Amino acid sequence: MLSRRETILTSLKAMTGVAVTASSPLGTLLTSPGRAQGREQADGVPYGAAVRDAPLAGEPDYRAALVRHCRQLVGEGGLKWYDLRPSRERFVYDLPDKQIDFASRNGMTLRGHTLVWYGAMPDWTKSIASASEAEREMVGHIETVMGRYRGRIKSWDVINEPIPDDPANRSDIRPSIWQQRMGESHIALALRTAARADPHAQLVMNEYDIEFVGPRFRRKREAFLRLIRDLKMRNVPLHAIGLQGHLRGELPIDREGLSAFIAECRSMGLKVLVTELDVVDDKLPGPPEVRDILAASRVYDFLDAIRVSSPLDALLTWGISDRYTWVPLYFKRTDGHLNRPLPLDSDYRPKPMMRVIEHFLRDRR
């Protein structure tokens, strides 16, 4: 008779080709029933999650899960231009104020997401017509918003997703109103403005699709590294790299490529954060037990490759429970099964992914 553990690992191999031996650290992590531990490890890597406002306001189980597991939070929305700036004149702080209030009442901090991004821009920003107008708007926004939360939001995604999905050249920057009006110089300007607005804040540049095997992802990694090197060489204030970590269940991690990328970031004195981890599972097999293990093994490969140089500085998932996730907006499964991208299931029970995450949180920093 096969043990439960062997049964899981055998069907995993059959359905996906991924071979994990039961006695390996990963095999044990994935298949032992153990309970999740929660956030008590104060000296390990701080874990956090992106929060959504409706359940934060209305659902006690959701709040309890956050308090049990997280040492920091980030708003899924709230600090995006779309939410903050319904018109050129108005700044609306209701959502981030609620998030920060909940975080600080429960002994957590809030990360700031995000100041300069092509996405979630309100329509009125399309009328920004010249380089000088763009500079005025971007600089004013960063000063106002970071100024308001100075000393309270200690880590900011100043730059989000600067590299195109398939850069033809290493010097390609993703189009945005800022790129179109000011060119690449908007990135250094944003970081310098941020450093003045809150000299103690950690300034982060965030990107996705850095970690997979394949030429497109190698090109994206190289273009991101080109930009990072350029900023560091010119002494632009940049303190950390954020890997969003929206892993794709069907894509293997380029462990060597990722480790080399991280080592180079570290050698430039940068900290490394995982800012939006989840596993997009629309292309994984249906049975939840197999799917959860495959997702967790991707997370293992990803985190293990990153920490080769040194432990992570923070790890956040993009949501905490499968109940509230952005994944089905873009990657809904076609077989009627719900997506399961996050560390807790939709009833807030820890999945194998949570055990894998907690394993890496134990790294001493």
Interacting residues toward ligand XIL by CB under 6 A:
76-77, 160, 244, 276, 326
Task: Give min distance, CB of 325 to ligand XIL, in A.
Answer: 8
User: What DSSP line would sit under 302-351, residue for residue?
Assistant: HHHHHTTTS--SEEEES-SBTTS-SHHHHH--SSSPPP--SSB-TTSPBP
Cis peptide before 114 (omega within 30 of 0): yes
Task: Give min distance, CB of 230 to ligand XIL, in A.
Answer: 22
Whether the CB-CB separation of 285 and 302 falls below 8 Å is answered with no
Task: Give min distance, CB of 76 to ligand XIL, in A.
Answer: 4
Q: Residue 135 or residue 207: which is nearer to ligand XIL going by CB?
A: 207
Q: Residue 8 or residue 70: which is nearer to ligand XIL going by CB?
A: 70
Q: Residue 115 or residue 138: which is nearer to ligand XIL going by CB?
A: 115
Task: Give min distance, CB of 277 to ligand XIL, in A.
Answer: 11
Which amino acid makes up residue 193?
T
Q: Residue 242 or residue 257: which is nearer to ligand XIL going by CB?
A: 242
Q: Which residue is nearest to ligand XIL (CB)?
A: 326
3-class secondary structure for 10-46?
HHHHHHHCCCCCCCCHHHHHHHCCCCCCCCCCCCCCC
Task: Give min distance, CB of 56 to ligand XIL, in A.
Answer: 13
Task: Give min distance, CB of 276 to ligand XIL, in A.
Answer: 6
For residue 170, list its beta bridge partners.
none
User: What tokens were used for 79?
Assistant: 């600090």
Burial per residue of 79-117, b for 16 or more beta-carbon CB atoms within 10 angstroms, e otherwise: bbbebbbeeeeeeeeebbebbbebbeeeebbbbbbbbbb
Task: Give min distance, CB of 43 to ligand XIL, in A.
Answer: 29
Residues 6+ apart with CB under 8 A from 259: 305, 306, 308, 309
Q: Residue 55 or residue 77: which is nearer to ligand XIL going by CB?
A: 77
Residue found by looking up tokens 């018109």 in the block: 87
Task: Give min distance, CB of 96 to ligand XIL, in A.
Answer: 14
Whether the CB-CB separation of 116 and 186 falls below 8 Å is answered with yes
**Phi and psi angles of residue 161, each rounded to the nearest 5 degrees, phi first:** 55, 60
Q: CA 140 to CA 145: how far, in whole Å?
A: 8
Q: Residue 160 or residue 193: which is nearer to ligand XIL going by CB?
A: 160
- Please tell me what DSSP assigns to residue 123: G
Q: Residue 274 or residue 293: which is nearer to ligand XIL going by CB?
A: 274
Task: Give min distance, CB of 326 to ligand XIL, in A.
Answer: 3
Q: Residue 30 or residue 145: which is nearer to ligand XIL going by CB?
A: 145
Q: Residue 243 or residue 265: which is nearer to ligand XIL going by CB?
A: 243
User: What tokens were used for 323?
Assistant: 């109940």
Stated as kind and residue range, the H or E segment containing 236 is none
